[in-house]
Amino acid sequence: TSARNAAIAAGVPVMPGSDAIADSAAVEAFVDEIGLPVILKAAMGGGGKGMRVVRNREDLVPFFESASSEALAAFGNGDVFVERYVERPRHIEVQIIGDGEGNVIHLWERDCSIQRRHQKVIEMAPAWSLPDELRADLHKYAVELTSAAKYKNAGTVEFLVDAQNRPYFIEVNPRIQVSLYCLDGLKGLITSDPADCNINFKTGFPRK
């Protein structure tokens, strides 16, 4: 995807993964390269639909067909991405806002690791027990990636962190998410409402 390519160009670590794949033979060929386990994700998806974790080779084609069918029904497109699967990762999101001229700030991060069926259940801000060096790296990666893209919007840069505290970029959600407001607890760190900032940027209100 364009976001993944932009992350690579910006020097942000990414999860080993494929472009969108439409047939089982291509899925098998890619898995031959990176090995198991992998996760299949709907290329046009979200909300946990069209996702399958494959740990055994005999499950690969049936799980691909199931994920592709679910993705087609939900999103009108049955293509999937194949990525290396990280067992029990932490899911960390960095909130950012950019003005479209390369000026981006981060509004700290939240931990979205408590999930059910790939859906977030509890989100915490700031991310509890995240090493300070890793926290700073995630903020830097999020800002550098979106600044290079001249991002104009509020948004969320999402990462997975493995058991060795190695981060991997997974996606940018280019919108305000309902979970934004769990950051309201960081009083004194965030001095303005990102939703207001986003409206001002979109309507051309003078930026300060």
Task: Answer yes or no: 175 catalytic.
Answer: yes
- Give the DSSP letter string of 141-199: HHHHHHHHTT-EEEEEEEEEE-TT--EEEEEEE-S--GGGGGGGGSBTTB-S-HHHHHH
Contacts 24+ apart (CB under 8 A), 55-58: 55/85, 57/31
Q: Which listed residue (55, 166, 175, 207) is catalytic?
A: 175
Cα Rg of the chain, angstroms = 18
The residues assigned a catalytic role are: 175
